[in-house]
Each structure stands twice: as structure tokens, then as C-alpha cells.
Chain A
Amino acid sequence: MPQITYIDSDGNKHQVELPLGATIMEGAVQNDIKGIIAECGGSCMCATCHCYIAEDYLDKLPEMEEEEDEMLEGAVAPRTERSRLGCQVRISNALDGLVVEIPQEQ
């Protein structure tokens, strides 16, 4: 199973293994990572699963749909080129070793 490191909203690191196909948001909720709220349960409707992806993995991510792009514009923490919605990124083998940072605000 791919290994993912979350840096939670307090700056603490958590290394976890996630099953293929799980989303970054689900992995955070199941592993009790502080800072991901996921109010809409992964429907790309709330932008409270905003996270920052480590630079070197950006090109390995599934492409962003227009919907996610628009929702990110409304996220509370500043949007950067590393911004994604955790519920829209599924874990693949290519993401083994990924580091995901959770913003302080959702």
C-alpha cells in the first residue's frame, strides 16, 4: 500500500499507509489527521478538504476537473499551485511517498 505523510494543521507529521483508490480526504479522516473537515463527505461541494500537495508529486496527480478548480477558488486558506481538494485525489501507486500539508483553516 502506498505510504503517505500528512502534515496536519498543527504542523505534526503522520505517516500512514493508504489502500489504492482511497482519497486523500478519506485517508485523513480515517487516520484522524487534524484539519480536514470534509463537511460534504467527498461530494466536491464544500471545499473543507483543501490541502497542499508536495511540489514533486504535482504531475503525478489525477487531472483537476473544472468543478474542483472552481471550488478551490472559494477555499478559506490561500489557493496556490499546490492546492487540491483532498476528496478529489485518489491514491495510486505513483503517489507512494507523497507528502500532503493541511492548511490551518478550512
Chain B
Amino acid sequence: MLLPPLFPNIPPNSIPMKKNVIIIGAGHAGIQAAASLREEGFEGSICIFSEDADFPYQKPPLSKGYLDGSQQKNSIMFRSETWYENNQVELKLGELVEKVDVPQKTVHATSGEYAFDFLVFATGAYNRELPIPIKGTDQPLYLRTMKDADYLKQALDQEDVQDILVIGGGFIGLEIAAYAAKSGKKVTVVEYQPRLMQRVLPPMLSEHFAAKHQAYGVDLRMGVGVQDLTQDSKWLASLSTGETVTADQVIVGIGVLPSQVLAQEAGIRCSNGIEVNEYCETSAAGIYAIGDCALHPNPFAKGQMVRLESVQNAVDQAKAIASTICGKPTSYHQVPWFWTHQYNLKLQMAGLSEGYDQLLVRGDVEGDKFSVFYFKNNQLIAVDSINKPADHLQARKWIQASYTPDLEKLADDSIKLNEC
């Protein structure tokens, strides 16, 4: 019997690569790296270690469709089990990598020691914990993994859980707040900064989101810190204003920190993330870092070192290193993009708006259908779109091509965007 070729995508006269790749982490970055390696014709072994024991799944739905029940476990997994088998990608689920030995080119995991030719850190990030005194038999809830999401959903869906306190007015906290408010809960959001999602949004968009949350009855306390949490029959939070908030459940979303200890202990250079060059290679040759854990020079931030926490960044960095490992050095230079859903507001962001000196709004702000264009030194650097997917897609193309539309045309809603 004639068997089908193992990797049908390999061009007929390429030299097959027969080395070992070990990937640490089975999130967007790790899984995409494996998939892209095979697509590029890599023939060596690929092994992915994942501390998380759940079959590899996507995280964004955890605070969206998975939380509201419209998406189930098997609808958010990356690939089917047969995909891993057919592509000979070995998964070691529930296995922590405890040590990396750079000179020996080995990793030490729970089940033993493994050798690599190339190593990929796709270790992601972990939740920052509340740095305040907490007294109680339970802990406040956090969201990062599917287990967290299952626990959170079960907690929020209980009927006797009515008062919800969300600490942190960033994307994840606000998506959870929106779900709880839509389910009829009484929600309070406490945010230390003076406005919502301050790190990435301009005041007008923070206010737009704030107004929507308030319309759903969410009590927003901005510029306020939580000083301590005490659990009795209910949770009691004391705020920096001297006020207190009581709640049946407390949910914390105050940002993440890069998972870099493993790399650090292996002598690889780290600061706010594992430091990499434009090829996502770390200070150790043949060792890469991609996704949430990678502090990289980003062309869309004028080459500054940044760490991005997004699906786009994880996926595109994975594609780049896969090509590089397969002998086609490929630098990372894709437009950053991101999205969030809260109520009827679907925000899509393209580019990095930090440092903008001019801003233009186009569309129907009251009708929740508009885009904000950001410029720096007369160059388009970013576009945030609310319920305007076509604008978002156009923006991605423009920013990738370093194109700046005509401002006067852009300001005129009667002129089509692709004619600006």
C-alpha cells in the first residue's frame, strides 16, 4: 500500500529539517508555532509542554462567549486531537518545565529531561495579584485559564450572588462586569486610574465605554484604590476614599506579568519580559520567545521595546520564528491589532496609539458606530473602531503599508474610506 506523504506541504526539492523543537506553553503562541513549523515543512520532532492540563484552548472567549454560554469547551479549542496526531506534534499536558539548561540544550520537566536543538518560550503571562491585605476563607476570583473561567461562571451564575465587585477597569475586568450587569447583577467597578482602559484608550473612548456601563447600572468608581478586603457573610472592601463596598463575589483583573522566571534562571536576559531581537531570538542563540512573554522591538512603536498581550502578536511572532527556524530568517513586523466586546460595543484596535498628537473621529458616535484615527507627526499610527469592522480592516492595511490618508477627505463622512 502506498502511504500518503507525511507532510504534504513540503516543496519537492526543499531540504527537510530534522531537528528537535521544544515549545514551552500551549497558548496561541505555542500552538501556532507548531502549526507554522509543519506548514513550512519542518520534519523534526515538535514537543509542546503545557503546565495547563486542559486540552489546548483559546483564551479570549473565556471572558466572552465561553462566559455567557454561547461557546462550549470544544468550540474554543485550537485544533482537534487528530490534528496533533496527523502532524506529529507531541503534547505534554499538565507538565511544568522546571529548568532550562542552555549550554546542555535540555529542559527538565516533571517526567524527565529532554534535549532540543531549538527552544521556544511561549510561556505567556500570569495574573498580577492584589497587593493588599485579604482576610477571609475564600479568595477573590481571577481569570486566565479555562479552570478559572469554569469557576467564575459557576460563581456568577448563582442566584444568591447579586452584588459583584470588579477590581480593575481594564479589558478583562470590564468584559466580566458587562456579562454580570447583563445578567441582572449589581456591579461595582473600582479602578485606580482616573478612567477606564486608560493605558490604551484616549479619554473620549474611555468615556464612551463608561457611559455604556453606567447605562447598564454599573457603579463606576474611578481614581479609587481598594485598601483591604475582608470576608464575613459578605465581602467588604475599604476604598481609598474612606467608603466601603459590600459584595457577594470579588473579581480581580489588574493586569498580567510576563512568565519569565524559567528564562531568567537559565541566564537569558529578561526585564519586563524575555528580551528578544527583531527575529524573536533571546540572548541565547537558537532560543526564541514569542507571545505575551516576549519583550520585543516593535516597528509600529518606532522600534521601541514593547510587550503586547494579544492574539495577533502571539500568532504573528509564532509564524516569524517558524520561518526562521526553517532557514528563512524572518523578522517580526506585523501591525498590532486587538479587540474587546462589552454589551453592543465591539471595539477593534489597529496599530499602537501611544504618543499620538492628533486625533480624528469619523462616523456616528451616538449610534455607537465610529472610528478614531490617531496621528503622530502627520502620520497615521492607529485606528480604534467601534462597530465598524470595515474601517478596522482598512486601517490594518494602511498602517501595515505606512500609508496616511488625506485628512480633509477623512473628515468628510460622505467620502468612502477607501477613497481617502
Contacts and interface: CB of A to CB of B under 8 A. Distances in A.
A74 B394 CA distance: 8
A105 interface: no
A39 interface: yes
A43 B60 contact: yes
A45 B65 CA distance: 13
Contacts of A42: 61, 65, 71, 75-76
A92 B390 CA distance: 29
Contact of B389 (A31, A32, A74): A74
Contact of B61 (A23, A41, A47): A41
B297 to A, nearest CB: 23
A43 B389 contact: no
A71 B348 CA distance: 12
Contact of A67 (B77, B315, B389, B396): B389
Contacts of B390: 70-71, 73-74
Contacts of B315: 39
Interface in A1-45: 10, 22-23, 26, 29-32, 39-45
A74 B393 contact: yes
Interface stretch (B78-86, B166-174, B268-276): B78-86
Q: Which of A26, A41, A47 has the most CB of B within 10 A?
A: A41
A73 B393 contact: yes
Contacts of A23: 75
The interface size bin for chain A is: 20 to 34
A26 B79 CA distance: 10
Interface in B103-145: none
Nearest to B81: A32
B296 interface: no
B64 interface: yes
B362 interface: no
Given A23-B75, A74-B393, A74-B394, A32 B86 contact: yes
B6 to A, nearest CB: 15
A43 B392 CA distance: 14
Nearest to B32: A39
Q: Most A CB atoms within 10 A — which of B8, B312, B389, B394? A: B389
Nearest to A47: B393
B346 interface: yes
B7 interface: no
Nearest to B83: A32
Interface in B338-356: 339, 341, 346, 348
Contacts of B88: none
B58 interface: yes
A87 B76 CA distance: 11
A45 B76 CA distance: 15
Contacts of A22: 75
Given A22-B75, A26-B75, A70 B60 contact: no
Contacts of A67: 346, 387, 389
B41 to A, nearest CB: 15
B61 A43 contact: yes
Contacts of A74: 389-390, 393-394, 396
Contacts of B77: 29-30
B74 interface: yes
A74 B79 CA distance: 25
A70 B388 contact: yes
Interface of B: 8, 58, 60-61, 64-65, 71, 74-80, 82-83, 86, 311-312, 315, 339, 341, 346, 348, 387-390, 393-394, 396
What are the 6 tightest A-B residue pairs by CB atom distance, in nearest-first order? A74-B393, A70-B390, A41-B58, A70-B389, A26-B75, A32-B83
Interface of A: 10, 22-23, 26, 29-32, 39-45, 47, 67, 70-71, 73-74
12 contacts: A29-B79, A29-B80, A30-B80, A31-B80, A32-B83, A40-B60, A42-B65, A43-B341, A45-B348, A74-B390, A74-B394, A74-B396
Given A42-B76, A67-B387, 17 more contacts: A22-B75, A26-B74, A26-B75, A29-B80, A30-B80, A32-B80, A32-B83, A39-B311, A41-B58, A41-B61, A42-B75, A43-B64, A43-B65, A44-B346, A47-B393, A74-B389, A74-B396
